[in-house]
Structure formats: C-alpha cells, structure tokens
Amino acid sequence: MIELRVNGRTHRISADADTPLLYVLRDELELNAAKFGCGLGQCGACTVLVDGIASLSCVTPIVLLAGRQITTLEGLGTPQQPGPMQQAFIEEQAAQCGYCIAGMMMRAQGLLQRDLHATDADIRKELEHNLCRCGSHMRILRAVRRAAGLMLASGSTGVTAPDPAQPSAYPEVTAPPDDGMRRPAHPDLRERPQR
Amino acid sequence: MDWGGARMGLRLLVIILVVGAAAVPLAAGTWQGAIAPIDPPAPDRFDGAALQRGLQLAAIGNCMSCHTAAGGAPFAGGRPVATPYGTIYSSNITPDAQTGIGQWSEPAFRRAMRAGVGRTGQQLYPAFPYDHFTLVSDADDALLYAYLMTRRAVRSTPPANQLRFPFSVRPLLALWKLVFFKEGAYRADPTHDGQWNRGAYLANGLGHCGACHTPRNALGAEKRSARFGGGRAQGWHGYAIDSASPARVRWDRTALRAYFRDGWQTLHGDAHGPMAEVVENLSAAAAADLDAIAIYIAWTMGKRDRADSVQQASVATQSSGAVIFASACQGCHDGSRPLPFGGVRLALSTAVMDDEPTNLINVVLEGLYPRSGAAGAIMPGFASVLSDEQLRSLLSYVRLRYGQGSPWKDLEASVQSAKAQRHD
C-alpha cells in the first residue's frame, strides 16, 4: 500500500509498487487529463508535476513517489474556475486535437512556477521535448506567454497549497457499476460538469 | 573541459612564477607582436574544393561546438567554458572585421593554431587547444582558414572572461607555455604506415581527443605521461581510450568507424554528453580521415586485460534499487529492441563499466536527448522523481548486476558533485 498525494489529497493505492503513476492516475483515481502517448517517456503527453517539477508519469513508478506532491491538470483549476494556465489556453484556443495539451500545460506550469519572467527562448526550450503532431505550437507558445501575464497580473500561479480537509474543487466522478461488459475505455468522455 | 584542483593550481602557479622570474628573458623571446590587420578577404578568393576540405577538417576540429553559444549563430562565439580558474567565453571566429577574425591574415590564423597567440599578439588561453592544434600542417591550416573566412560574418562580442587573479593576466600564459607547451607540426612516425600516421596526426592534432580523454594537472596542462588515460569534459568523464578503456567489448576499427558515423554502436551504446556533439560533427568529416582515426584509436586501446565475455552477476532482486530498475529502467533496457531506439543492454554499457559513476549519474538524471531539431534516440531523465537515496540504490544495483568492477566508492559524493555540475 502506497500513499500518494495528488492535487492536495492523499490516496491509499493498492497497485503494485512498479505501476507507472499514469496508470494509477487514470485507472484508479480517474484523473484523466494526463494522457498515454508513447509509454516510453518520449512524447510528454503524460506530464505531471512532482514537487513542482515536470515529470513523465508513464515511466515513473509509484514506488518513487511516496510523500511527494503530485499535481495534475485537474489540480490547476476546474471547468467553472480554470486556473490562469487553463484560462490562457482557452483564450488562445491553443488546442487542436488536444491530446498533448495537458502535458504542455503541466510543463509550462512547472516553468512559470519557477520563473514567471521566462523568455520566449526559455519557453521553447522547456517545451521542446513535448511533442504536438497537430502543429499548434505557435498558439501553445502564445498561451504560455498569456498565462505568465495572467499570473503576473493576479500575483498567483493558480496553485495554492491545498487544504486536505476540504473536498477537491473538482467534482467527484463515480464510475458506473461494472456490468461485466468490455467497452472501449474513454473516461474523458464520461459526464463532465456542464459549463 | 575541466581542469584539476584549483588550490593545488595556485601553489603550482607560485612555483612557476618563481621559476618564471628567472625565465623572463626566455619568456620575452616567446612574445610575439601584432600581425597587421587585413580587409576581410572576398569569399571568391577561395576555391570550392578548398572549402569542401576545410569543412571536413573543421568537423574533425569540432570548432563549431565551442565557438557557438546555445541558440547563437554558428562560429560567433560566446559559449561559456567553466574552468577551476573561472569562466572563459569562446571567441567569435566568423569573418566579421570588428568582432570576429575578419582582419586576420592567413599567417595570423596559422600563428594562433601553431603557437596560441592572437593576431594582436595577445596570449591565448589553452581552453583553445593549441597544445593540439600546433600539430596541424600549414596546408590544413590554410584549408581551415578558407572555410572560416567564408562563413557568414556575425557582429557579436562574447562576454568578457571571468577569471580569478592571477589567471586573468594573459601575459602569464607565456610562462605556462614555457613549462607545458611544445610547439611544432606533426612529425610522422616511420615505424607506422601512412594511415596510422594520418590517424595520429588528426586525433592528436586537430581532433584534440586528449583535451577530454587525457587527465590534466593542477594548472590545466594535459599529463603527457598519461595520454588517453581518461579526462573530464563539462561534468562528464571522458573515458580512458588507452588500454584501460572500460568498454566491455573491445573497440576495433570497424566499431569505431561506425560509432564516428552514427553516434552509436551496437556493442557499446550511444554517444552522450560532449561526445554527442563530437560525433555529430564527425559525420561531416572525410571518410578516409575517419578510417584513419579509427585505426589509430583502435591501436591506442591496444590489447586489454578485461574479458570481453558478457556475464551477469546474480544479485538479489529484493533491494529497492532492483525494484526501481525493474519498474523504471527495464522496459527499455531489457535488450529486446536494438539500438538506437531501444535502450543499450546495460551489460554492454561503458557508463556502467567505468571506474566512476559520473556518466551514468548524468544520464539517469538528465536523460539523453538529441540536439534541438535533430533526430535521435531519447532517454527520459529521472532527476525530478529520484531522491538521492533512490538514485544511490539504483546505481548500486545496476553496478552490481551489470558492472564487472567493484562497487563504486562514495556514491554520495559522486551524486552531489554531478548535481552541482548540473546547476552550474
């Protein structure tokens, strides 16, 4: 049993110690923002923050993460109250197919938490290893710059130390009862809060 | 390139200053004046064949790596080189008249290569490896000159060097040269054939392999008695490439040749750290020259004492390092996919066999990424998720399971030192 601290909440995880964090996030915690892309740490779609630093959840076994602070895209805000990074990506319409975007936002978030005055060159360098095959890079870069502006204006990167006693800002999603049928797992398409 | 202990360096320097005082007349003899400036030569002064040869030679000299800042224009300089004595910034070697070498005549260029003296007569720091370039022939210097003088001129002044006193005093370099520098073009060794000599000429001269693969003394001079015994480069260990080579399987000329061309070799792994830049440049060098270097380096490695057989130690699979390895590393390093896109079999990895863990630590923390925009294998880094303790147990496990040697001593110090270099 490993205790994982994700978006400020503590979860007791029964998965094997060598299970990649991504599988636990998606399959057990139903935090589906981080995506399975290559599964080899090459594409960045699975990026989350560990203690504020961008990390590839598909190659990070949970055995390494006891006591660490994990932040996923769900930890940056909600559809009702998007954080500055999410707000900026919406305003710039920076997603095409969207598959890479959660990873892009998390890596950019890590950068801006470190340095709100990151230059264009810093942003490009930071995002270099996150692949987007739609080619929405220019909009992604604009969105990250806009996010930095929003953060500077509000004086907050949008992530506050969460209070474990408080329920998550993101609504609980209850898995439907298992009817024994196999169906394509598309958890992202399950009920979402209405905007 | 990193250079030995600075404190010892200071002591040695004092000794040399004393010796030097006696040698002032001699030192004055090595002082050379300015060479008259010229107008930058018109590019059409040089013929195409010379430029092609110059390009191939510059690739062997790896000129671009040091003389290009991250994200900067090629050859425009400004790349910081950390030394124990402070930071040196590479110079602009584009033909810009004001900030580059546009006013350098060919004799001025040749003198810099041969004697480590700039056009205006100032002593050059040996971060510019003239201790090797002195071997380069006049003919090859002319080709390099033609190549550099036809690059795009870029107006860019590198930042001023930040060296501690007394290392900031350039004239003192004349004394350093008196003690450590031997000027003179390469002389062929008649006991070897032409190809071997070509390889020795290129590897010890323009290629300056020893700059990273030979240990240095406290004042930054290569120890001639320990040539190719292993050195340092930008926080990496330049492996020994003499008979002490830690490679599990002996390098031969065929393997070296493939490694120079591709940047990886199936029985040895991928080039990483500064060597990745070297092999990327080498891919542009002339095939015959690379053959010659491969022949010579295979010769320097010579016979060896290590067994080539690959056997794995049986080790406990219950340690925390074993668990981390099984979950984070084995997926790519299980040997089921060939290089370069599968991970190297660690039983063949030179980083694991090496007497020090530096390079393995760097790779585990930072991963391996191709240069920006280039194709290549990727290994993700694990710096953000491995605690120091987890890293140590992983390293110990990998060494025990795959390395032939004894356990690495004082892993903690090696980890801290590698981390400190990363943040420089």
**pLDDT tens for each residue of chain A, 195 residues long:** 899 999 999 999 999 988 999 999 999 999 999 999 999 899 999 999 999 999 999 999 999 999 999 999 999 999 999 999 999 999 999 999 999 999 999 999 999 999 999 999 999 999 998 999 999 999 999 999 999 999 999 988 887 655 444 444 444 444 445 555 444 444 443 444 444
Query: Tokens 């600075």 appear where?
Result: B6
Q: Are B107 and B97 in contact (CB under 8 A)?
A: no
pLDDT of B24 strictly over 60: no
Task: Kindly list the residues of chain A whose beta carbon comes within 8 Å of any beta carbon in chain B.
Answer: 17-20, 40-42, 50-51, 53-56, 59-61, 63-65, 68, 121, 128-129
pLDDT in tens, B156-169: 999 999 999 999 99
CB B215 within 8 A of CB B231: yes
B84-123: pLDDT as tens digits: 899 999 999 999 999 999 999 999 999 999 999 999 999 9
Burial class of residue B342, CB neighbours in 10 A (0-12, 13-18, 19+): middle
What pLDDT, on a 0 to 100 scale, did the predictor assign at position B335?
Answer: 79
- Res B290: pLDDT: 97
Among the ranges given (A105-114, B51-60, B277-286), the one the predictor scored with the smallest mean pLDDT: B277-286
Burial of A50 (0-12, 13-18, 19+ CB in 10 A): buried
Using a cut of 0.80, tell me whether the model's pTM lies above it.
yes
Residue B320, pLDDT score: 86
Inspect the interface and report whether the beta carbons of B385 and A18 lie closer than 8 Å: no
- Cβ within 8 Å of residue A46, ≥6 positions away: A22, A34, A35, A36, A37, A56, A57, A58, A103
Q: What digits encode the pLDDT tens for the residues B224-250?
A: 999 999 999 989 999 999 999 999 999
- Put simply, the answer to whether A65 touches B382 (Cβ < 8 Å) is no
pLDDT tens string B169-178: 999 999 999 9
| Interface contact B417, partner A, CB < 8 A | no
Alpha-carbon span B64 to B49, nearest angstrom? 20
The mean-pLDDT minimum among A105-119, B8-22, B196-210, B341-355 falls in B8-22
* Torsion angles phi and psi, residue B359, rounded to 5: -70, -35
CA-based max dimension of chain B? 71
Q: Which pLDDT score is estimated for B119?
A: 96
Give the pLDDT mean for B415-423.
Answer: 84
- List CB contacts (< 8 A) between A42 and chain B: 378, 380
Average pLDDT rounded to a whole number, residues B277-295: 95
| Calculated CA dihedral for residues A138, A141, A143, A145, nearest 10 degrees | -140
Q: What is the largest CA-CA distance in chain A?
A: 52
B384:A54 CB<8 A = yes
Mutate to test the interface with B, among A2, A16, A18 (most CBs of B within 10 A): A18
User: What is the number of other CB atoms lying within 10 angstroms of the CB of residue B389?
Assistant: 11
Which residues does chain A have within 8 Å of residue B386's beta carbon, measured at their own beta carbons?
64
Q: Which residues of A touch B390 (CB under 8 A)?
A: 64
Closest-approach residue (CA) in chain B for A128: B372
Half-sphere exposure of B319 (CA within 13 A, CB side): 18
Of A18, A64, A121, the CB nearest to B71: A121
In this predicted structure, the answer to whether residue B193 has a pLDDT above a threshold of 50 is: yes
Burial of A17 (0-12, 13-18, 19+ CB in 10 A): middle
Report the distance separating Cα B119 and Cα B133, nearest Å: 16
What is the C-alpha radius of gyration for chain A, rounded to an integer number of angstroms?
16
Contact B323 A19 (CB under 8 A): no
- Bridge-partner residues for A54, per DSSP? A49
B58 and B283 in contact (C-beta within 8 Å)?
no
What pLDDT sits at residue B374?
77
Quick: pLDDT tens for B293-320. Answer: 999 999 999 866 555 555 555 666 678 8
Mutate to test the interface with B, among A2, A59, A124 (most CBs of B within 10 A): A59
Provide φ and ψ at A61, rounded to 5°.
-70, 145
Residue B322 touches partner A, C-beta closer than 8 Å: no
- The per-residue pLDDT for B314 is 62
Token pair for residue B236? 């990496």
**What is the signed CA dihedral for A12, A14, A19, A23, rounded to 10 degrees?**
-70
